[in-house]
Amino acid sequence: ATATETRKFEAEVAQVLHLVTHSLYSHKEIFLRELISNASDACDKLRFEAIASPGLLSGDAELHIDVSWDTAARTITIRDTGIGMSRDEVVANIGSIASSGTRRFLETLGSEQKADARLIGQFGVGFYSAFVVADRVTVLTRRAGEAPETGVKWESDGRGEYTLEPATLDQRGTTVVLHLKEGEDEFLDGWKLRALVRKYSDHVAFPIRMPREAPAQEDGDEAEADAAPEWETANDASALWTRPRSEISDEEYQNFYKSLGHDFNDAAAWSHNRVEGSQSFTTLLYLPSQPPFDLMMGGRDERKGLKLYIKRVFIMDAAEELLPHYLRFVRGVVDADDLPLNVSRELLQHNRQLERIRGACVKRVLDLIEKLSRDEPETFAAFIKAFGNTLKEGIVEDAGNRERIAKLLRFASTRGEGEAQTVSLDDYVGRMAEGQDAIWYVTADGYRAAAGSPQLEAFRARGIEVLLMSDRIDEWMLGHLREYAGKPLRHVAKGELPLDEAEKATQAEAAQAAAPLIERIKALLGERVEDVRVSARLTDSPACLALAEYEMAPHLARLLREAGQ
Ligand code: ADP
Ligand code: MG
């Protein structure tokens, strides 16, 4: 008895399906990349599990992905001999939204807000992109190592429901059949499909096979209705990062970047290196040009995109083990020669070899950002706009690279371009006034509050530039960035202003003249202030609050109060 069960998609899935099918209309063809990428992931997973349980590969040791089409039935089929899915896995992985990041993304989308293709691209459309071209999708899957009768058939029209039924499948792995929508016949074409495979999936490390096209039939004398197609490999099937740099085009690098998932915009830059020696490894690291949504959300648990391979065998997503948190925007691949294949996450956390690789990755990424700042100011500006605040965390997290990171940051300033954060600490230091011995900054809740602070009057009057800090993270960062290029960083509200001799005399006179007034104010304010002084800080405003040298800035004090500290 075949019990067909009908289930509803999770509400979020329905929402994603709607967004995806409506936003990707001009990027339809990426469905093929997404499905091949899933097939490739499934082969990676099986190859990894087979290290511990070789029996999983029995019957068919070859891992490959087959893409075929049927003009009469109007279907495209993508089949892999990968890990496959159990019934529970099908429900969990394609009936609901497994990624908490996608969930958060959806929560932030108001009901009226439209997600454009770019936004969608930032969270990786994945399996559901099938419904951009298909009005019915059938998935047949059986987990490696399980009996043929444990197979599952999943089917949906991508509206609100899907059906599940048991299926007997002779082979392990997953078959996805797309029943094309009216008007999508352009994809029922070997040339077209082959071109798409080459464009998007050339570097997939498993053979992607397609039926060899039959030569035009000769006069029908020998009607060989040969059912079993002859397969030929359509992609390069070599892992891109193992090839020499000189042989890889920019386009190939970009396509590989997109295949890593979670972004379909171009990367801003990349760095590809092979380290030979007592410990050999290859790194291919990318800087995105747009923040992925989970980074914008401050997501800590979604750290995908840096894959660890050992001798070309995919081991795991290991961004956390390979990079510090403040470089979490980096995507790419690390392939090590000398790590044991059976590493676990726990082992990785205390592995000396991995420590070295991690150090090399950090260095490569900082080199790469520096190079961008030197050679491609526009791309760099966009990059810093997207990731500058993330990078600031490095000032706190990575004391060893503090100066290097500080050099890369950009700020708003009283001599900058309004709100835009374009001034580097080097710019600032380079135009410091004669005798100026500190880098001055002010912090506030927002740019306008910072730029309008009465504390700035005296600095303006003296022609001293002040950095305007108004991002949430700035106070925290500044607590750790005490100096740059040998110059201390100082809050404008803290301690004494630098005065010359003439100013000191005027100041003393003014203080004397105002003594009775000061006494009166002190008496009135009592315990509420520590001191009342005649100030050189102000030119227009009658009074301002100042802080003692080691007091917390008001903005930080308020943040801490809000956090209940
Ligand atoms: P992602 O690949 O980013 O996880 P997808 O929407 O592309 O998101 O796929 C969702 C999940 O469905 C995958 O994580 C995987 O668990 C499962 N899946 C999809 N395709 C396959 C496949 N061909 N073989 C095995 N599992 C698959
Ligand atoms: Mg996917």
Q: Is 171 in the pocket of ligand 1 (CB under 6 A)?
A: no
Residues in Cβ contact with 181 at an 8 Å cutoff, skipping those fewer than 6 apart: 133, 134, 135
Q: Is 81 in the pocket of ligand 1 (CB under 6 A)?
A: no
Residue 151, strand partner residues: 167
**Closest CA relative to residue 442, chosen from 404, 417, 411:** 411
Confidence at residue 14, expressed as pLDDT on a 0 to 100 scale: 80
- Ligand lying nearest the CA atom of residue 128: 1
Q: Is 127 in the pocket of ligand 1 (CB under 6 A)?
A: yes
Reading the block at residue 475, the tokens are 């106070």
Q: What is the pTM of this model?
A: 0.72
Q: Is 261 in the pocket of ligand 1 (CB under 6 A)?
A: yes
Nearest CA to ligand 1 atom 20: 38
Phi/psi at 389 (nearest 5 deg)? -70, -30
**DSSP 3-state percent helix, strand, coil across the chain (nearest 5):** 40, 20, 40
- Which atom, in ligand 1's list, is nearest to the CA of 80? 23
Residue from 64, 93, 174 whose mutation best tests the ligand 1 pocket (most atoms within 8 A of CB)? 93
Q: Is 80 in the pocket of ligand 1 (CB under 6 A)?
A: yes
Q: Is 83 in the pocket of ligand 1 (CB under 6 A)?
A: yes
- DSSP string computed for 224-258: ----SPPEEE-S--S-GGGS-GGG--HHHHHHHHH
Nearest CA to ligand 1 atom 10: 93
Nearest CA to ligand 1 atom 15: 93
Nearest CA to ligand 1 atom 21: 38
Rounded to 10°, the helix 250-259/30-52 angle is 70
Check residue 325 and report its DSSP letter.
Answer: G
Sheet hosting strand 466-469, strand order edge to edge: 412-413, 466-469, 439-443, 487-491, 483-484
d(CA 207, CA 117): 30
pLDDT (tens, 9 = 90+) of the chain, 565 residues, equals 568 999 998 877 887 787 777 777 677 888 998 899 899 989 999 998 998 899 999 888 889 999 999 999 999 999 999 999 999 999 988 887 656 556 656 665 554 455 555 555 455 567 888 999 999 999 999 999 999 999 999 999 988 899 999 999 999 999 999 999 999 999 999 999 999 998 878 878 899 999 987 655 555 555 455 567 789 999 988 889 999 999 999 999 998 898 786 677 899 999 999 999 888 999 999 999 987 655 444 444 456 778 898 888 888 888 888 999 999 999 999 999 887 776 777 777 778 888 999 999 999 999 999 999 999 999 999 999 999 999 999 999 999 999 999 999 999 999 999 999 999 999 999 999 888 889 999 999 999 999 999 889 888 888 899 999 999 999 999 999 999 999 999 999 876 666 666 777 777 888 888 888 888 888 888 888 888 877 766 667 777 777 766 666 666 666 666 665 5
Q: Is 458 in the pocket of ligand 1 (CB under 6 A)?
A: no
Residue from 33, 44, 127, 128 whose mutation best tests the ligand 1 pocket (most atoms within 8 A of CB)? 127
Nearest CA to ligand 1 atom 17: 93
For the segment 424-457, what is each residue's pLDDT rounded down to a tens digit? 999 999 999 888 889 999 999 999 999 999 889 8
Confidence at residue 313, expressed as pLDDT on a 0 to 100 scale: 81
- Which atom, in ligand 1's list, is nearest to the CA of 45? 25
HSE-CB for 506 with a 13 A CA cutoff: 8
Measured CA distances, 520 to 334, 470, 500, 534 (Å) = 69, 35, 29, 13
How many residues appear in the chain? 565
Q: Is 144 in the pocket of ligand 1 (CB under 6 A)?
A: no
What radius of gyration do the chain's Cα atoms show? 30
Nearest CA to ligand 1 atom 27: 38
Say how many Å lie between the CA of residue 177 and the centre of ligand 1.
15
**Closest CA relative to residue 264, chosen from 125, 380, 383, 385:** 125
Say how many Å lie between the CA of residue 312 and the centre of ligand 1.
21
Confidence at residue 112, expressed as pLDDT on a 0 to 100 scale: 46
Residues in Cβ contact with 235 at an 8 Å cutoff, skipping those fewer than 6 apart: 197, 198, 201, 202, 203, 204, 207, 208
- Ligand lying nearest the CA atom of residue 37: 2
Q: Is 94 in the pocket of ligand 1 (CB under 6 A)?
A: yes
Q: Is 174 in the pocket of ligand 1 (CB under 6 A)?
A: yes
- Ligand lying nearest the CA atom of residue 127: 1
- Which atom, in ligand 1's list, is nearest to the CA of 94? 12
- Which atom, in ligand 1's list, is nearest to the CA of 262? 3
